[in-house]
Amino acid sequence: MNVGPTSAHIALLPGDGIGPEVIAAAVECLQAVSAIYGFRLSFSEHPIGGCAIDACGAALPEATRLACLASDAVLLGAVGGPKWSDPRAPVRPEQGLLSLRAAMGVYANIRPVQVHPRVAQYSPLRAERLRQVDFVFVRELTGGIYFGEKQRENGVASDLCRYSSMEIERVLRRAFELARHRRRKLTSVDKANVLETSRLWRETAQRLASEYADVQLEHQLVDSMAMLLLTRPSSFDVIVSENLFGDILTDEAAAVAGSLGLLPSASLGEGPRGLYEPIHGSAPDIAGLGIANPSGAIASAAMLLRHSLGMGAAASALESALWLALDEGALTPDVGGHHSTAELASAVTGHLWSQSAVDASVARA
């Protein structure tokens, strides 16, 4: 049942590379599902990343930041590319995304991973290891080494990894709550045998576990977790980790699914407003060719409907339509198909309208 607003405004940040192409596909699907379910969506487009550096001199212009904070949700494409890849540059595209996450107060990145049967052959894993793979990563977003003090002097460099109990507790609670509504198993990833921040992480997880007695908690060291994701991915339900570990492990998990282009993400804080983006990068080698896989962006749009707008039925309908389109062979080249970005989006909207017609017919009967 939908309990969300009758209208909402979405800030679009297409970004660089294939970002504009996949965001256009996601907007097409959002427009279709909003028309079917009778709520109004409005959109405004703003620069971020490399294109924002070129246009405004900043990876996150102030106007973009303010527009995102005034919106009901933010849908982002991708940032970065070879043009801005100099690590010594004072302003880099990734800084825009990091700054936006901090400005929005989103601290938990949610990344669901499932394997669609039609694309399972593109996973590096054997088919038997992919059966019943259905897990969700919860990655902490605003702390850790990415945000710690950085120094470089006389040939010596350092990056400070810092976490507070509050930062750890809030993301762990998000993960415990998610596990409670799934299969009631939570895997916490750390490096507690070496790192003090990880020891605080593990202690906090163990303390919170007493409040979630219905959830089974296990701990995995990050190095062993990297192996287990490939050897027994179906054994996991909800996985939670700090920022750097989560960044690395979620890309590995995308390989399990068969393509980076398939997976969505939602970055959430305390309120309903969230930041939604496919997990892939800007893929400059195929930008402008019309062949980018919009599945991750479309699935991110479904997460936007569910988490920020409370439109659960609409979100499920969009996810089902995407699944059906893939099932019927509407596949882009990254997963062995010949469909364009626009053709896959059209296949998804076609399934949305077809299901809507069926539902209307049933209602009249």
Pick the catalytic residue from 122, 134, 146, 159.
146
pLDDT tier for residue 360 given thresholds of 50, 70 and 90: low
* Residue 54 annotated among the catalytic residues of the structure: no
φ, ψ of residue 250 in degrees (nearest 5)? -70, -30
Distance in angstroms (rounded) separating the CA atoms of residues 167 and 129 = 34
Say if CB 278 and CB 261 are below 8 A apart: yes
Q: For residue 16, what are the CA distances in angstroms to 3, 91, 94, 129? A: 34, 15, 11, 35
* CATH code for the domain defined by 1-113+262-365: 3.40.718.10
* Residue 251 annotated among the catalytic residues of the structure: yes
* Residue 191 annotated among the catalytic residues of the structure: yes
Domain ranges of the chain: 1-113+262-365, 124-257
**Which residue is it, tokens 């800084």?**
95
Number of neighbouring beta carbons within 10 Å of residue 177: 15
User: In DSSP terms, which residues pair with 241 in a beta bridge?
Assistant: 139, 189
Determine what percent of the chain is predicted with pLDDT higher than 90: 85
User: In DSSP terms, which residues pair with 263 in a beta bridge?
Assistant: none
Pairing mode of beta strands 266-268, 274-276: antiparallel
Which of these, 330, 308, 332, lies nearest to 321 by C-alpha position?
330
Query: Beta-strand (E) ranges in the chain?
Result: 7-15, 40-45, 73-78, 108-114, 134-140, 150-153, 156-159, 185-190, 216-221, 238-241, 266-268, 274-276
Pick the catalytic residue from 191, 212, 237, 276.
191
* Tens-place pLDDT, residues 336-348: 999 999 999 999 9
Distance in angstroms (rounded) separating the CA atoms of residues 244 and 140 = 9
Average pLDDT, the chain: 94
pLDDT for 220 beyond 70: yes
**pLDDT confidence of residue 3:** 52
pLDDT tier for residue 364 given thresholds of 50, 70 and 90: very low
Say which range, 82-96, 115-129, 149-163, has the weakest mean pLDDT.
Answer: 115-129
Pick the catalytic residue from 54, 150, 223, 359.
223
**pLDDT confidence of residue 5:** 67
**Buried-exposed string 285-321: b where 16+ CB fall within 10 A, e elsewhere:** ebbeeebbbbbbbbbbbbbbbbbbbbbeebbebbbeb
Which of these, 338, 217, 234, 333, lies nearest to 285 by C-alpha position?
333
Sequence letter at residue 246: G
Tokens of 301: 């749009």
Is the sign of the CA dihedral 44, 49, 51, 53 positive or negative? positive
**Can you give the pTM of this predicted structure?**
0.92
**Which homologous superfamily does the CATH classification assign to the domain defined by 124-257?**
Isopropylmalate Dehydrogenase (3.40.718.10)
**pLDDT confidence of residue 251:** 87
What DSSP designation does 134 have?
E
**pLDDT confidence of residue 365:** 47
**pLDDT confidence of residue 118:** 87
Say which range, 1-15, 94-108, 141-155, has the weakest mean pLDDT.
Answer: 1-15
* Tens-place pLDDT, residues 260-310: 899 999 999 999 999 999 999 999 999 999 999 999 999 999 999 999 999
Identical topology for domains 1-113+262-365 and 124-257: yes
**pLDDT confidence of residue 258:** 84
**pLDDT confidence of residue 358:** 57
User: In DSSP terms, which residues pair with 152 in a beta bridge?
Assistant: 157
Average pLDDT over residues 317-327: 96
**Which residue is it, tokens 């996601």?**
26
* Tens-place pLDDT, residues 21-53: 999 999 999 999 999 999 999 999 999 999 999
Distance in angstroms (rounded) separating the CA atoms of residues 10 and 319 = 19
**pLDDT confidence of residue 338:** 96
Please give the residue that has the higher pLDDT: either 362 or 195.
Answer: 195
* Residue 122 annotated among the catalytic residues of the structure: no
* Residue 285 annotated among the catalytic residues of the structure: no
**pLDDT confidence of residue 361:** 47
Tokens of 130: 């992919």
pLDDT tier for residue 362 given thresholds of 50, 70 and 90: very low
pLDDT for 359 beyond 70: no
What DSSP designation does 79 have?
-
